[in-house]
Amino acid sequence: MTDKRPEDELLQRARRLQEKAERVQQQAGRQQSSTAEKIIRRNDWISKTAKTFGTLKKWLGPLGALLAWLWRMFVKWFRWAAFKRQDGEAVRDAKGERVFSLKRLGITTAGTVAGLIVLHMAISAAYYYSTLFEETVYVTGKQEIETGELYQFGGCTSLPCSTESDNGKFYLIESSFYFPRLFYPEENVFANIPQQDAACRVKGYGIYFRSLRWLYKSAQLYQHVTTVSCRPYTEQEVTRAMGDGQILLEADESGQL
């Protein structure tokens, strides 16, 4: 009997120490959660916002459905990013609630932002290289829209410029963080376009459909120019530009640079 009492006392002591350690761990978890965890874990704001998007879906139709879908995707991401996980499952406390982790949220947010930036750059590069174009433009004027950032110039793709020949066109010169040669558009492109009439060979990227000009104007989706080389009109081009009023279309490539 005397041998078992010390052993029982040791077991009880070990049990008490274990219970104390668990209480300390739970308390630390609650302190880490703070006010942010209390708000997040209740999910009240998630359910209320979901109801709001459900109402918008009824009133806005396809746009509301898109907003609701985006919200569902965000909720799924947030539940994955903001709460502790182990072996692919959410870690829960003694009450069965998810354990919020500010550290995990910070890491996953940074990773998600970095991934979205890389994806955006990849899509931009794919769009850039798949829509490259090169053509001759008879420039009629240029305009500064935002210093150091955005410029615009217009011209005609054939001579003479005419509403009936429907050959007028606008182009954008815009700074870009993805393609270094566009980082200084005012020096690389805009400065090389003369104020007077000139024939310019332009290179750039973008899709253009003449039948959708209303969309390009309202959404500013003009083609972007990255390289330009200009010269004065030749005598033949001057004659064609100042002719007798007839509509002349390009029959050959004699006017190209």
Q: Which of 46, 27, 34, 32 is nearest to 94 (CA)?
A: 27
Quick one: 51 and 143 in the same domain?
no
Quick one: 154 and 212 in the same domain?
yes
pLDDT at 97: 83
Judge whether 247 lies within some domain. Answer: no
Whether the upstream peptide bond of residue 160 has omega within 30° of 0, thus cis, is: yes
Judge whether 51 lies within some domain. Answer: yes
Q: How many domains does the chain have?
A: 2
pLDDT at 204: 92
Quick one: 89 and 143 in the same domain?
no
- pLDDT of 127-169, one tens digit each? 888 999 999 999 988 888 888 788 899 899 988 888 777 888 8
Quick one: 112 and 79 in the same domain?
yes
Quick one: 64 and 139 in the same domain?
no
The domain in which residue 30 lies consists of 21-126
End-to-end CA distance of the chain: 109
Look up residue 158 and give its amino acid.
S
Most confident range, picked from 15-29, 46-60, 208-222: 208-222
- pLDDT of 37-89, one tens digit each? 554 555 555 666 666 666 666 677 777 778 778 888 888 898 888 888 888 88
